[in-house]
Amino acid sequence: MNHEWQYALNQWEAFSPGPISDVRLFFAPGRVNLIGEHTDYNGGYVLPAALSLGTWLFVRSRTDGLFRFGSTFADGVIAVRADDIAYRPEQDFANYPLGVIDMFAREDIHLPGADFFFHGNLPIGAGLSSSASVEVATATAICALTDTAWSGEQIAILAQRAENQFVGVNSGIMDQFAVAMGKRDSALSLHCSTLAYEVVPMHADGCRLVIANTNVQRTLAGSKYNERRSECDKALAILRDTWPDLDALADVTPEMWPDAQARLRAAADKLDDTAADILIRRARHVVFENARAKEAPTLLANGQLEAFGESMNASHQSLRDDYEVTGDALDALAEAAWAAPGCIGSRMTGAGFGGCTVSLVRENAIDEFVASVAAAYEARLGIAPSFYITEIGDGAREIALDLQP
């Protein structure tokens, strides 16, 4: 048993002493998005994959109406009575499982109480969906403990609702869906307005995904994220004057773009020039990013890795120039990757504003790639990045307690 896992077990036993036979263990992965960024809440395509990194959740039921939360990533114990569940900033990470418990209660699915203990190996707040991982682990556990036979899709939707309505972050469905539904060695091509999806085997022979963390604290992630959402809503409202049946901004195709751009420009009489220019750039990102995400499964299926890599690079440039969610650290990491040996493509992943990049790298050049990116990034930013050379794993599940991760 490795040292880290032994530490987690010891912490859990100290947090919730009692017979091991009453304990159940669950795992939910993090996710990396390969392409299709900021398209989910615009009704478009995304291409995420679940990671082998994630969150383990130990649970012991209680009958006294108390929920207790502990973890290896935050000190202290948070205890909340079942009849007093509300969002409170001081509850810290426990707000995520509490949100899930609350959403189940609204469905009339009740746990009488439980000890929840989380242990994770995902970097927190780094754009790899540590929060969705905690939410979906909790939802998977509640389904198992209450004999609720929900599908992964239902779990994902409930977990997203917890994030939107309880935690107050207006995120799309991508993260929770990937975490709940991920498939080993495959990405999921998900159409976010219908939730129709396709499992896309990663035929990336001789290549690996390398995730690099800027190690820069994300700033303004919540407020800027919500600002981008409302800019997209404004653009959609203007375009609906021309196309009343337009359901979502991502339904504007590249062929429709010249007309759409003209519409947005013409609306400048109601907006000022700067505001119109911003809406044009935000919408242009969504339209062309969606087209890239839609095409990506075909490129991967045909083994057209170079073309997929170029698409990843174009995605980053669009997120940098049009959507403006990258920032110096992510740009430095992506540019270092583009210039590094073995790089097929590289881009920021997740919401942006700090966090991680994902790169597709030739397996025989991984060491040189990592060394080159680390040196260039450190020379520019003065801090060292971290690297995760991860596997693509399965979605959330219960695991036998005697299995070590």
Query: Does residue 175 carry a catalytic annotation?
Result: yes
Stretch touching ligand GLA by CB under 6 A, among 22-30, 36-44, 94-102, 106-114: 36-44
| CB-based contact 46:33 (threshold 8 Å) | yes
**Which contiguous run of DSSP H or E holds residue 399?**
strand 397-399
Question: Strand, helix or coil at 248?
Answer: coil
CA 283 to chain centre: 21
Which residue from 96, 100, 18 is spatially nearest to 61, judged by alpha carbons? 18
Give whichever of 29 and 342 is closer to ligand GLA, judged by the CB atom.
29
Query: Which lies closer to ligand GLA via its Cβ, residue 225 or residue 369?
Result: 225
At position 46, the amino acid (one-letter code) is: V
- Binding of ligand GLA at residue 351 (CB under 6 A)? yes
Q: Of residues 175, 251, 322, 331, which has the active-site annotation?
A: 175
For ligand GLA, the closer CB: 16 or 129:
129
CB of 175 to ligand GLA, least distance (A): 4
Q: Rule CB under 6 A: is residue 37 a binding residue for ligand GLA?
A: yes
Does 175 help bind ligand GLA (rule: CB under 6 A)?
yes
Shortest distance in whole angstroms from residue 351 CB to ligand GLA: 3
| Closest distance of CB 163 from ligand GLA, Å | 7
Which residue lies nearer to ligand GLA by CB, 58 or 93?
A: 93
Q: Which is nearer to ligand GLA, 115 or 331 (by Cβ)?
A: 331
Q: With CB under 6 A as the contact rule, which of the stretches 11-19, 85-93, 166-174, 367-375 interacts with ligand GLA?
A: 166-174
The binder of ligand GLA chosen from 26, 27, 41, 177 (CB under 6 A)? 41
Report d(CA 316, CA 356) in Å as an integer: 12
Say if residue 2 is exposed, middle or buried (CB neighbours under 10 Å; 0-12, 13-18, 19+): exposed
**CB contact at 8 A, 390 and 53:** yes
Please report whether residue 182 would count as binding ligand GLA according to CB under 6 A. Answer: no
Least CB distance from residue 123 to ligand GLA, whole Å? 14
Candidate residues 174, 216, 334, 366; the one interacting with ligand GLA per rule CB under 6 A: 174
Reduced to 3 states (helix: H, G, I; strand: E, B; else coil), residue 319 is helix
Residue number, 91 or 170, with CB nearest to ligand GLA: 170
Tokens at 30, concatenated? 């993090």
| Cα–Cα dist 252/288, whole Å | 9
* Among 116-124, 148-156, 167-175, 332-340, the segment contacting ligand GLA (CB under 6 A): 167-175
If phi > 0 it is left, if psi is from -120 to 50 it is alpha, else beta; for residue 287 that is alpha
Q: Is 171 in the site for ligand GLA (CB under 6 A)?
A: yes
The region of 37-45, 280-288, 291-299, 359-367 touching ligand GLA under the rule CB under 6 A is: 37-45
The residue (of 156 and 340) whose beta carbon lies closer to ligand GLA is 156
CA angle at 53 for the pair 29 and 402, rounded to the nearest 5°: 85
114-119-123-125 Cα dihedral, nearest 10 degrees: 10
Interface with ligand GLA, residue 38, by CB under 6 A: yes
For the chain, what is the radius of gyration of the CA atoms? 22
DSSP state of 128: S
Among 30, 40, 250, 340, binds ligand GLA (CB under 6 A): 40
Find the Cα–Cα–Cα–Cα dihedral 393, 397, 399, 403, rounded to 10°: 10
- Cα 273 to Cα 47: distance, rounded to the nearest angstrom: 34
Q: Where on the chain is the footprint of ligand GLA (CB under 6 A)? A: 37-38, 40-41, 171-172, 174-175, 350-351
**Annotated active-site positions, please?**
175
